[in-house]
Amino acid sequence: MAELKERLHSDMVASLKARDSVRTSTLRMVLTAITEAEVAGKSAKELTAEQELDVVVKEAKKRREAEEAYTEAGRSDLAEKEHAEAGVLAEYLPQQLGADEIAELVRQAIAETGAAELGPRGIGKVMGVLTPKTKGKADGGAVAAEVKRQLTA
């Protein structure tokens, strides 16, 4: 097992012993998602650390989106549950980038790619450089919005 999966599993056992139901169910859910990713396709494979992190990022994003949807629908009880689960998953994600850090990375990527003269048509070029740098550390939508803002300014 990779390091992240081992950590998730040991934390789940600890939460079971502590009778922390939210944490236990959240960790079970993400471990199940990792296992499903391992057996997806024609043959089973062990995921790399980066692939495991991708699964956790995807699950955290699902929780954020569900929280927003429940909040808009006036279901605060379900929104709180999703928020709690997202909080548990956040412990396993890399430190998130702030708006200033994202803006600086975008400035560097625009300079690196020479996309400034392309204007809005250069978004794809800049995102191609930025995505590997920000994966798991920033929401892709926030990064794309900053790229668009800087290229259209």
List, for residues 88-100, the tens digit of each pLDDT value. 998 988 888 888 8
Please say whether the beta carbons of 89 and 60 come within 8 A.
yes
Residue 85 has pLDDT above 90, yes or no: yes
Q: How far does CA 83 lie from the centroid of its chain?
A: 14
pTM for this model (two decimals)? 0.75
- What is the spatial distance between Cα 146 and Cα 103, in angstroms, rounded to a whole number? 7
Residue 60 has pLDDT above 80, yes or no: yes
Give me the helix-helix angle, 21-39 and 3-17, nearest 10°.
150
Read off the tokens for 133: 């740098």
pLDDT single digits (tens) 14-23: 999 999 999 9
Residue 147 has pLDDT above 80, yes or no: yes
**Percent with pLDDT over 70 in the chain:** 99
The stretches of the chain forming alpha helices (DSSP H) are: 3-17, 21-39, 49-72, 76-90, 99-113, 123-134, 140-152
Max Cα separation, the chain? 59
Indicate the pLDDT class of residue 80, thresholds 50, 70 and 90.
Answer: very high
Q: What is the pLDDT of residue 66?
A: 95
Residue 1 has pLDDT above 60, yes or no: no
**Percent with pLDDT over 90 in the chain:** 42
